[in-house]
Amino acid sequence: MAYNKTKQELVKDVCPLKYDLPPEFAERMKRLLGADYPNFLSAYHLPYRRGLRVNTLKCSIDKFTQLFPYAITQSPFCAGGYYLEEELRAGADPLHHAGAYYMQEPSATAAVTILDPKPGERVLDLCAAPGGKSTQIVAALKGSGLLWANEIIRSRAQILAQNIERCGVRNAVVSCTDAAAIGKGLSGFFDAVLIDAPCSGEGMFRKEPAALSEWSEDNIGMCARRQTEILEAAADTLMEGGRLLYSTCTFAPEENELQIARFLNAHPDFELVDLSGTSFGRPGFSWAQVKEFSDQAYPCYPLQYTRRILPGDGGEGHFIALLKRNGTNAVLYGGYPYITNDTNSIRFYSLYKECFRSPESGIPQTIGDIVRVVPEGLPSLRGLGVISAGAAGAEICKNRLEPCHAIFMAAANAEDCVSVLDMNADDPRLLSFLKGETIDAPGCSGWTAVAVYGIITGFGKVSGGILKNRYPKGLRLRNG
């Protein structure tokens, strides 16, 4: 259902509200929105719309739209973002396994669009799991610079690392620690920071109706206090002139405009960037509109420079504010102690040439029983809860090395591989490969990439025209 339909056409698509909004929430929204409240409420009668974003690290937008067999409609929030117009089980789709796209609520892509990361920049995603915004950031970096993606909950950090690997990322660090540790250990390191802050989740009621039962004004207050701590830590990591983007998926002013007012009051070296030229959403609420939700008096900052996306704006609930640091900041981080002449790193170069034609980007480093290819210009990783850095290149197996899944996923395209088995999505061998089975691979030999329409989805080793499968067990299809 496209959002450019007429009102009469939209009426036909309207579905009944299947849940009741908490009365206290409804009353707060009436106070906040005033005469616009009926329009806000009417959006809850429209069906929730799923979306996806093309991963341009592995597939161009033009190529994806030609290959993707499901109906999609362009979203207004980023160039490669789309609404899904029919059901899709992404976990069974070879293009999803290959990392060609990321399932992402359409308006959730807006924050990175506004942050606008540039190639060569160092960017921190401080509350990063499950990885939608992280993989969007690193696609914008186009293989240069560095993404540092942090998640405080260990299980979610592991999912984040898996999604970064699936999307073919080479220049990222994934960590699992609190914001304060990042702020202390990486002072002045980043050009840009994104905080997709943990929040009360009011904007997710249509996507996750279970959030309705968890809503309370006490939870809003708890979230606001946690967001204040995260913002304080994030400010420490920015260099002079750096950009800090703060976003939530909630409507509560205490977590949005008032949070920004509090931060600006405590940090006169930051300024609020005017987002009024943004092509989507609507202006944030002014101080006059939100001050009744505060028990403190702040200077009258132009809070309408921020941006809000309401359910009637083509997405769910989002708030976005962009801040710029004008003041200087102490640089306290140390450099990573690269070791470039150990035996395994030297062996890795030979193995890499067996697998790929393109020159290696990054520096091989032996970390435990894995040779990882890590980016140049890393800071010290000590004490920051790092789970992974760069891409896993090879596993150390006694006196030999064997390539890892991640290094094949990080290859730009099938043409970069010495040996490749490239198949269409309807080739039955591709489904067998994703199940972990042995398949026929005529004309291939040695370490061989497996691709769908030229997009690499894994690898195996071919001998006598038969590919022995190396697709990771945890990723394999179990049925269908």
Output the CA–CA distances (angstroms, integers) from residue 381 to 185, 220, 235, 363, 387, in the order listed.
9, 34, 19, 15, 10
∠ CA 266-257-31, nearest 5°, is: 135
Peptide bond preceding 130: is omega within 30 degrees of 0, i.e. cis? yes
Residues pairing with 345 in the sheet: none
Catalytic residue from among 176, 249, 355, 404? 249
Amino acid, single-letter form, for residue 292: E
Residues 371, 402: contact at Cβ < 8 Å? no
Residues pairing with 175 in the sheet: 150, 386
Residues 70, 86: contact at Cβ < 8 Å? yes
C-alpha span between 143 and 171 (Å, rounded): 7
Residues 435, 429: contact at Cβ < 8 Å? no
**At a CB cut-off of 8 Å and minimum separation 6, what does 364 contact?**
340, 344, 345, 348, 349, 371, 372, 373, 374, 393
User: Is 249 noted as a catalytic residue in this protein?
Assistant: yes
Q: Supply the residues annotated as catalytic.
A: 249
